[in-house]
Amino acid sequence: MNRVLIATADLAYEQRIRKAFNGELNGELERWLDADLLVGDPDRTMQELVGFGSEVVVFGPDVPIDDALAVAKQFDLRHPGISVIITAEPTPKILQQALHVGVRGVLSPKASFSDVRKELQRAAAVADEHRANRPPTTVAGRRPSGQVITVLAPKGGSGKTLIASNLAVGLARVHPGEVVLVDLDLQFGDITNALNLIPQHGMGDLAQSVGEIDSATIKVILTPRGDDLFVLCAPDAPAQGEEITADRVERVLRQLAADFRYVVVDTAAGLTEHTLSALEVATDLVLVCDLAVASVRGLRKVIGALDQLDMTNQMRHVVLNRADSNVGLNPSEVPGTLGHRIDLKLSSSRAVPLSMNQGTPIIEASPRSPVAKQLGELVGRFAEVPVAKRGRRS
């Protein structure tokens, strides 16, 4: 176990951590808390904690959650090789906030000794991986070299996989061999069916891997679709998806962005922790809904959540699928509800489900159909050819 620093004034909490390891930590664990320093300046606090030379920093239950998150953010930006754990009840809100600032774990104050031990060991392993093979970043710290286009929808059935698969295939036509499609619906991903692939490897292989995540490692598990497109497929079994950490997802996407011109990411419905990791890396977001009231309202909530999480640097492209459906909601009403204009409308077509069932993207199966041409316009927003204007963030 790597050196552990506990930021807490609670001696009983320190003893609880030691008991979880049956005394194995010995001199590898220290306790520190300077309440005035902690509240005063997150950056200065981070520098103080770095001076201990620890690989894992645990904020105890007595540390205010906002202060712990503020310091954790500084660690993630400047010392990502040090894992930070906060002690709090892991509510959805806390988990989202923690993931956004790079926290490696949220530990319940009532966690069992076994859970405490597992969480700290996992954090130590993450710290080792970061120090061994942290992908390079820009001066700003967050922007990958390639373009990462994350396709997101609040609910299933909105057309997310249709859009992601056709977008990737369309981009690969323009830039063959320079596009990778990632199926990040780790439990029920359907990209293999949409593209008629039989993968030998996929994201499930990363669940068992404990070594470095480098270019060679990832390219081995990619599935080629002809000579133009590569696909990182979802695991075969849902249980494998649960073993893939959000941190690992982010590192994989950053490495892919270093190797490919375009990385297209198909996500699970809603805002999962893996999707939030993809958003951290994304340069562009394709936000999808249809004319169902629940879908429109759901996307409004997603946009609001992204704003609250300060995820506003990505270019946003809103796509209204099945925009000509007669379901009682007028497409002209959607922008006002969303607070964002509609960048692209897709028509309904019986050819779409047929193409999905056959495993042939609609832009290949029916290239002259209205929906295929509309998807071609979406490709033109990203392809480096003068097909259409790039989108602008509203």
Using the predicted structure, report yes or no on whether residue 213 has a pLDDT greater than 80. no
For 101-148, the pLDDT digits (tens) are 878 889 999 999 998 988 888 888 877 766 554 433 333 333 446 899
For 161-174, the pLDDT digits (tens) are 999 999 999 999 99
Using the predicted structure, report yes or no on whether residue 33 has a pLDDT greater than 70. yes
* DSSP state for residue 235 in the 8-state scheme: P
Mean pLDDT calculated for residue range 307-323: 87
Together in a domain, 197 and 279: yes
Together in a domain, 83 and 170: no
Structure token digits, residue 309: 């999480």
Q: Which residues, including other chains, have CB under 8 Å from residue 65's CB and lie 6 or more apart? A: 86, 88, 94, 97
Question: Is residue 24 within 8 Å of 117, Cβ to Cβ?
Answer: no
Together in a domain, 222 and 367: yes
Question: Is residue 58 within 8 Å of 85, Cβ to Cβ?
Answer: yes
For 274-302, the pLDDT digits (tens) are 899 899 899 999 999 988 888 889 999 99
Structure token digits, residue 11: 């001696």
State which residues form the domain around 107: 4-133
How many residues in total does the chain contain?
394
Between CA 179 and CA 202 the distance in angstroms is 16
Which of residues 133, 160, 179 is at a domain's end?
A: 133
Together in a domain, 188 and 96: no
Helical (H) or strand (E) element with 107: strand 105-107
* Closest C-alpha to 96, from 217, 272, 259: 272
Q: Per mean pLDDT, which range of 132-146, 210-224, 256-270, 348-362 is the poorest?
A: 132-146
Together in a domain, 18 and 123: yes
Together in a domain, 125 and 159: no
